[in-house]
Chain A
Amino acid sequence: MKSRLNLKSFNYDKFIREYAMLLIFIVIVIFFGLMNPKFLSWMNISNIIVQNSYILVVAVGISFVMMSGSLDLSVGQQISVIGVLTAVMMTVYEMPVWLAMAIGILAGIAMGFFNGGVAVRLKIEPLVVTIATSIVFKGVSNIISGGMSYNNFPASFRYITTGKILGLPVDVWIAIVSVLIASIIYNFTYFGRYIKAMGGNIEATRLAGVNVNALRIATFCISGFFVAIASFIYISKLATMNSSYGPGIEMTAMTAAILGGISFNSGEGKMWGLVVGVFTLAIIENGMQLAEWNQYIQYVVKGLILILAIGFDIHQRSQRAKKLS
């Protein structure tokens, strides 16, 4: 019965809307594969996956803020703060790795709480708050680091990116688990349902009896948590950390999320889309590197991709709004 109905209501528009990104992804893979045979080598593919595990984790975190109808531009600076904090704890204060990481996670949640709390309390658009707090976090990061670089991390910390479980690097496992946890929250919990409802129509959600202020703060805290996890992968991979590392990642993660159909304006999106988005962007980047394009041209391309992704998202929504009204 159900499948028959679905078959009947199959429409081309909807299919394109849902799977457009997947199609583009496949086209891009074929394109770069033909351009450069090295591209489809197992080496290169596993490289792409490993290099982007932390981006995926950041994107998962940022998706919570986006699904609730906002953006967090301070994520890059949050990584900078968490990175140097954890590094200093491990190397200067020689704390156990678990304690340094616990402090890093707390710092991530605290920064999220600050972002969300200020937005709710002072009734400022959250996006604007995060522009301001990214300056604050930049200062905090430099205060902690004292302008120094830190390295010689304990081996147990480096295990995050050097170790393997069942043949897969630990950080890839972390990314997979992050995506799974987020999927479960969005699809099976009332909390996830609330977040998506809020992103769709915050006033209607509030009037339906949902505490949207608490939810706003919670989404930023969750984002902070995942950003902290991503920071560990990031600095473990770099094997060194200073305050200048981090900024810029927020744009990559956000572009990937938008490419993957996570809308910051309608509470819609799926986690598999997010994964496709992250790797589409990663492949484009990788393809450009293999083609030995100038780094600055790569920036231009990435910026244009962001514009296209947002434009596509807005176009789709306005189309749908037209249909519904």
Chain B
Amino acid sequence: MSEKVLSLKNIKKEYPGVVALKDVSLDIYAGEVHALLGENGAGKSTLIKIIAGAIQPSAGSIVFSDGVVHQSMTPQKAKEYGVEVIYQEFNLVGCLSVAENICFGEKHGKFVNRRYMKKVAREAFDLFGVDIDPSAAVYELPASKQQIVEISKAIFRNVKILIMDEPSAALSVAEVEKMFQVIRKLKERGVAIIYITHRMDELFEISDKVTVMRDGEYITTVQTKETNRQELVNYMVGRELKETFPVRPQPSDEVVLKVKDLSGNGFRDISFELRKGEILGVAGLVGAGRTEMARAIYGADKKHAGRVYVNGRLANTSSPAKSIRNGIGMIPEDRKQHGCLLTRSILTNISLSSLKQISKLGFINKKKERELAQAYKDELMIKAPNLEQLVGNLSGGNQQKVVIAKTLAANCNVIIFDEPTRGIDVGAKQEIYKLMAKIVSEGNAILMITSEMEELIGMSDRILVLHEGKSQGILEKHEFSQSRILEMASGISIEKQGA
């Protein structure tokens, strides 16, 4: 058969406190499209970064076609072996021409040789049968053509192993078809392709083999022809739920937040109701538009259409300031950049959203401020010697508690949690869960976006599933199952209905 071009043996990657990859072995053959499938956080990205030399494995070996065993790669060495990666965000210089981008970083003679570069570009485009003007500036091209420029760049560098990370994310259906043609041409040339995706339908159309990963573990590799969607979903979710979650009373029927036909960048026509005492989970894969939706509700980003009602009344939530006035708060996904002021004290952080309420004639009542912050520090059990401690010096879990305290201090009764436990260690996670349970038991409501299946199923009363910016429906508690959620998040149920 075809030649083995890459062999990963027992690759392991550990970060302090986290195992990103455990014992992954994988063989890649020339002229083959090998799909990597897995949920968010399955370890796909870590694996390709190791192949490309961007990060070093903690253990294991990497063997290319020359048989030399490497303990680790560097970006330069990987390039010498013909490894090229096309990331979701293209790595092109927008203001330079197509031809200049393709030949970027390569010298041909002492001066810039435009004619040579154009020739290289034309040859590549002829190969794919596409018509792109080599002297056009890259930013003028649509995403699909930019991608072809990326691929041409890889070919110019004599690619042997092409890694494509969610290559279809930015493309339309017609453009994806064009990309497949290009991939097939590359196969004919004997290029091995590692294709990372969470879109099932694409995988069946283009791949020869599928490797499924879950929680950093290698699960299995199957021939695409011999498998089906259901089997793959089962491989992806066959996980036992280990965490325990606080038991909570039934939420009431009183609707506190109603979102109607909301559209914005990355999502459209989303409607749902959030009830008093409820945690509504929001599920979806990368690019499903969950964070975008949350930010639009909160007024951090613009809404294109739709309405938000708070306690039955139409509410203006066009800016975070207005949302907070309406009792809506948000714990952002990026805690360090958006959640807190790292260089400021716990005191300053907790009171930031409620300063006006504790001020008279513009002057902060410092005694009240301190009491407020101290009360939340005690209640949320924020571990720090005093209120003067800089938030940047706290652990992730305690930082998150400070952000929650800030939102609670501002009297928000609808709180949007975007990835509530990202980057937080196991013990602190439990504390955050208990805190969330307590918050809703006191008559508040939570909209929780999470990529962690356990958290989603364990904490939610209902789950809203998004797929590519659209609602796939809301699951009631008795309908929760990993495979059901994943199917909906992958858009499978919709296709069945359409067929």
Mark A residues whose CB is within 8 Å of B.
5, 188-191, 193-194, 197, 200-201, 203-211, 266, 268, 320, 323-325
Contact = CB atoms under 8 A, between A and B. Distances in A.
Given A210-B321, A268-B343, A190 B356 contact: yes
Given A209-B324, A211-B321, A190 B337 contact: no
A216 to B, nearest CB: 14
A189 B364 contact: yes
Contact of B342 (A208, A209, A324): A324
27 contacts: A188-B364, A189-B363, A190-B356, A190-B362, A190-B364, A191-B362, A193-B348, A193-B364, A197-B348, A200-B341, A201-B341, A201-B342, A203-B337, A203-B338, A204-B340, A204-B341, A206-B300, A209-B320, A209-B323, A209-B324, A209-B353, A211-B319, A211-B321, A266-B343, A324-B342, A324-B393, A325-B392
A77 B406 CA distance: 42
A323 B337 CA distance: 16
A207 B320 CA distance: 6
Given A189-B364, A324-B393, A207 B343 contact: no
B343 A320 contact: yes
A70 B364 CA distance: 25
Contacts of B323: 209
Given A197-B352, A200-B344, A324-B343, A207 B338 contact: yes
A98 B473 CA distance: 69
Interface string B297-332: 010100000000000000000011101110000101
A204 B338 contact: yes
Q: Interface extent on B, as a size class?
A: 35 or more
Contacts of A209: 320-321, 323-325, 353, 410
Nearest to B410: A209
Nearest to B389: A9
B207 to A, nearest CB: 39
Contacts of A188: 363-364, 366
A188 B355 CA distance: 11
Contacts of A324: 342-343, 390, 392-393
A205 B338 CA distance: 8
A203 B320 CA distance: 11
Contacts, number: 77
Contacts of A204: 337-341
B472 to A, nearest CB: 28
Interface string B88-113: 00000000000000000000000000
A194 B351 CA distance: 11
Contact of B330 (A191, A207, A323): A207
B17 interface: no
B341 A189 contact: no
A155 to B, nearest CB: 37
Interface string B341-369: 11110001000110110010011101000
B498 interface: no
B386 interface: yes
B341 A190 contact: no
A194 B355 CA distance: 9
A209 B409 CA distance: 12
B427 interface: no
Given A188-B364, A197-B348, 11 more contacts: A189-B359, A190-B362, A193-B348, A193-B355, A197-B341, A197-B344, A207-B298, A207-B320, A207-B338, A210-B321, A324-B342
B388 to A, nearest CB: 9
A183 to B, nearest CB: 13
A200 B410 CA distance: 21
A209 B338 CA distance: 12
A10 to B, nearest CB: 14
Contacts of B319: 211
A208 B406 contact: yes
